Homo-oligomer: A and B are copies of this chain.
Amino acid sequence: MVRLNEIRRAEVAIDPPPATDAGLVYIGRIATPWSSRLETPRLGRLDGPLCRIEVFAPWRAALKGIEAYERIEVLFWMHLSRRDLVLQSPADDGTAHGTFALRTPARPNPIGTTIARLVRVEPDGILLVRGLDCIDGTPLLDLKPDRTLFTPLAREQAGDRQTGHDDVSDGPEETPGG
């Protein structure tokens, strides 16, 4: 993060609808070395400093088996971010980029996703990891095995082997040309 909450030259904010379509529960808290968003890394690195994820009590049983994965996907809520910017100027140089073409924390739903190296699982819902890029105290939303390491355990589904140019449309005028 490299801003507090100012709007910069060339940036555009909208007046978004209320964020009431679905609700989140914080399932834990993340401790990192960065107490200011002006020092937090822009992107995590797998050789970064050790960080500590605490999973709150109701969900600790859900950690069973996570130690099998060298890397995990960590989803967190970037609770300090403004949510109304559609065009942003990360370098503050007068040029603007779409929010969805950036990995900036300022987004309509400020959900951060990082791949972290799982160093150790400790008692009481504590995970030690490297690779995070969030500020100290960030609320935890989810943990998943890294997609490239995970093999589904469920039975095969019809869609699993589906490839090719099967189009999706809701009307002839919108049929893509695939």
Contacts and interface: CB of A to CB of B under 8 A. Distances in A.
A102 B62 CA distance: 9
Contacts of A16: 25, 58-59
A20 B19 CA distance: 11
Given A1-B157, A40-B157, 16 more contacts: A21-B139, A22-B77, A22-B139, A24-B109, A25-B108, A31-B169, A33-B166, A41-B160, A48-B159, A50-B167, A52-B168, A62-B108, A63-B98, A75-B113, A111-B142, A122-B176
A12 to B, nearest CB: 6
Nearest to A127: B100
A17 interface: yes
Given A91-B153, A139-B21, A145 B62 contact: no
A142 B62 contact: no
Q: Determine chain A's interface SS by DSSP, over half rule.
A: loop
Interface residues of A, number: 108
Q: What 7 pairs across the A-B complex have the smallest Cβ distances?
A: A64-B98, A65-B101, A49-B166, A41-B159, A19-B23, A90-B154, A62-B99
Interface of A: 1-2, 12, 14, 16-27, 31-34, 38-43, 45, 47-52, 55, 58-66, 68-69, 72-73, 75, 77, 79, 85-87, 90-92, 96-104, 107-109, 111, 113-115, 119-120, 122, 126, 128, 133, 136, 139, 141-145, 147, 150, 152-160, 162-170, 174, 176, 178
